[in-house]
């Protein structure tokens, strides 16, 4: 089969995995489109294979739609070990990105057929479960990342966490590159932070959550998850992309904890609008594999993303019969972002701020209070500037950073 033979515009998909790509080539477009389908299924550069047996062509991926630079390819499920996400990505996002015939290639979206969906259980908790154990039903969750990213001792980190909890934050998490360093060992940190979490719960009468980063080689990661369980924690955080799909699948099967998914390294795949992998593809598979919360972008802030793109990702995390994954808005957020954020992405989100809490002129506790005030004011229908008139902490934050209009 030549590359062009993999283009079948009259084909009607039936139970196939469907991938949509953006494609640029300096050669014949139909040939390049067929090359993507061929090299991600049964084909290769020289069609005269002595090993090609009668009937194998039924396994060929098929380009069934071409619209401008966008193509859709249908993959028969027989091509996949359907509960092996690493193998699936090796097919649809593997060698095809390196072919010389390709100028640019971007995996835009993926449609997962029902037969494949059945192989995955999805989030253990999802939005409803997380809301249930935090006893928060009708507002966005408020989270923070302990800052600075690195350098604090376990005692210093637990003190910062405690201050933000009593200030009104619901969730505290480690940053993506904090694991178990010489200055901050994992077990001591988790022990201290969870002790102060319990104290904050007693003092505030509210449930709180701590998400320690367990990212590590798999056996060590499993050990760290067990430590969290033994200490009474409910959450773990995982850098899902640097960790790898297979380890994420395995830890999801073997833990009873809620999983907060950090997308560190995603920009290497997602940032170039013409090449790589779109975040929605990563989000869909993260949900399948049991991620309860996932960073999706904040619309505003230092990691600003396309508004429509983020809305689409958030919608994908909440659609269908599988439990819904909590989208997490983060990256340069502060109280003045809250009103616009809620208007754009709604209440079923985690609004997460690091510097926007810890750089508050009155300190971390007051910074947490300002974030809580911003959320409560927005949910009650006030403008932030109006609500700040009677809330000093929020007013101080607005004076420092302003309000996103």
To which residue do tokens 């966008």 refer? 70
Beta bridge partners of 20: 72, 109
pLDDT of 298:
83
The per-residue pLDDT of the chain, averaged, comes to 95
209 and 272 share one domain: yes
The reply to whether 147 belongs to the active site is: yes
108 and 131 share one domain: no
Contact between 189 and 212 under an 8 Å Cβ cutoff? The reply is yes
Residue 112: Cβ within 10 Å count:
17
pLDDT of 355:
95
367 and 291 share one domain: yes
Rounded mean pLDDT of 289-298?
Answer: 95
57 and 135 share one domain: no
List strand residue ranges (DSSP E) for 25-91, in order. 62-67, 70-75
Domain that holds residue 171: 126-401
282 and 256 share one domain: yes
Does the pLDDT value for residue 303 go beyond 80? no
From 89, 117, 145, the end of a domain falls on 117
Question: pLDDT tens, 366-404?
Answer: 999 999 999 999 999 999 999 999 999 999 999 999 999
**Backbone torsions φ then ψ of 262, nearest 5 degrees:** -95, 140
For residue 322, the SS3 value is coil
pLDDT of 305:
55
**Backbone torsions φ then ψ of 258, nearest 5 degrees:** -70, 140
Does the pLDDT value for residue 301 go beyond 90? no
Percent residues over pLDDT 70 in the chain? 99
CATH at 69: 3.30.70.150
pLDDT of 247:
97
How far, in Å, CA of 102 to CA of 364, rounded?
A: 50
> If we measure between CA atoms, which residue out of 126, 156, 160 comes closest to residue 354?
160
pLDDT of 118:
93
For residue 29, the SS3 value is helix
202 and 89 share one domain: no
Which tokens go with 106? 């971007």
The reply to whether 266 belongs to the active site is: no
Question: pLDDT tens, 37-75?
Answer: 999 999 988 888 877 777 888 999 999 999 999 999 999
Q: How confident is the model at residue 307 (pLDDT cuts 50, 70, 90)?
A: confident
Percent residues over pLDDT 90 in the chain? 92
From 117, 136, 170, the end of a domain falls on 117
Burial class (CB in 10 A: 0-12, 13-18, 19+), 24: middle
pLDDT of 254:
96
pLDDT of 55:
80
CATH at 206: 3.20.20.110
Of 205-219, 238-252, 295-309, 341-355, minimum mean pLDDT range:
295-309
Q: How confident is the model at residue 204 (pLDDT cuts 50, 70, 90)?
A: very high
pLDDT of 137:
95
pLDDT of 302:
52
54 and 75 share one domain: yes
Give the total number of structural domains in the chain. Answer: 2
For residue 347, the SS3 value is coil
Rounded mean pLDDT of 79-92?
Answer: 96
From 117, 144, 161, the end of a domain falls on 117
Identify the residue with better confidence: 280 or 44: 280
> If we measure between CA atoms, which residue out of 100, 37, 45 comes closest to residue 72?
37
For residue 66, the SS3 value is strand
Catalytic residue among 147, 163, 323, 360: 147
Beta bridge partners of 350: 141, 328
Contact between 207 and 179 under an 8 Å Cβ cutoff? The reply is no
168 and 260 share one domain: yes
Q: How confident is the model at residue 81 (pLDDT cuts 50, 70, 90)?
A: very high
Contact between 34 and 6 under an 8 Å Cβ cutoff? The reply is yes
User: Which strands, in side-by-side order, build the sheet including 17-24?
Assistant: 62-67, 70-75, 17-24, 104-111, 276-277
Catalytic residue among 262, 284, 366, 395: 262
Contact between 126 and 324 under an 8 Å Cβ cutoff? The reply is yes
């Amino acid at each position: 089969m030549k590359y062009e033979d993999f283009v079948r515009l009259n084909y009607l998909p039936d139970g196939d995995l469907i991938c949509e790509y953006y494609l640029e080539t300096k050669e014949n477009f139909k040939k390049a489109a067929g090359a993507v389908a061929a090299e991600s299924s049964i084909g290769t550069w020289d069609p005269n294979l002595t090993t090609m047996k009668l009937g194998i062509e039924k396994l060929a991926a098929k380009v069934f739609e071409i619209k401008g630079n966008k193509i859709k390819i249908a993959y028969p499920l027989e091509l996949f070990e359907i509960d092996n996400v690493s193998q699936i990505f090796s097919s649809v996002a593997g060698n095809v990105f390196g072919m010389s015939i390709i100028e640019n290639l971007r995996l835009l979206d993926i449609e997962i057929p029902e037969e494949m969906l059945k192989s995955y259980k999805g989030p253990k908790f999802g939005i409803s479960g997380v809301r249930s154990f935090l006893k928060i039903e009708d507002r966005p969750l408020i989270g923070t990342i302990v800052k600075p990213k690195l350098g604090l001792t376990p005692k210093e980190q637990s003190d910062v966490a405690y201050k933000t909890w009593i200030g009104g934050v619901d969730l505290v998490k480690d940053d993506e590159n904090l694991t178990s360093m010489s200055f901050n060992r994992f077990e001591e940190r988790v022990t201290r932070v969870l002790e102060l979490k319990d104290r904050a719960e007693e003092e505030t009468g509210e449930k709180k959550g701590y998400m320690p980063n367990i990212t590590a080689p798999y056996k060590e990661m499993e050990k760290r998850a067990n430590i969290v369980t033994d200490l009474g924690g409910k959450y773990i955080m995982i850098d899902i992309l640097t960790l790898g799909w297979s380890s994420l699948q395995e830890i999801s099967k073997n833990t009873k904890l809620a999983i907060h998914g950090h997308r560190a390294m995603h920009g290497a795949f997602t940032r170039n609008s013409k090449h790589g992998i779109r975040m929605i593809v990563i989000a869909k598979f993260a949900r399948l594999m049991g991620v309860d919360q996932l960073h999706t972008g904040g619309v505003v802030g230092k990691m600003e993303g396309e508004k429509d793109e983020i809305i689409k990702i958030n919608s994908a995390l909440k659609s269908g019969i599988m439990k819904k994954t909590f989208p997490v808005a983060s990256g340069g957020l502060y109280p003045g972002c809250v009103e616009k954020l809620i208007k754009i992405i709604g209440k079923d989100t985690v609004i997460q701020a690091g510097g926007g809490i810890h750089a508050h002129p009155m300190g971390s506790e007051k910074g947490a209070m300002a974030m809580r005030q911003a959320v409560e004011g927005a949910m009650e229908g006030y403008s932030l500037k109006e609500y700040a008139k009677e809330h000093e902490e929020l007013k101080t934050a607005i004076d420092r950073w302003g309000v996103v209009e």
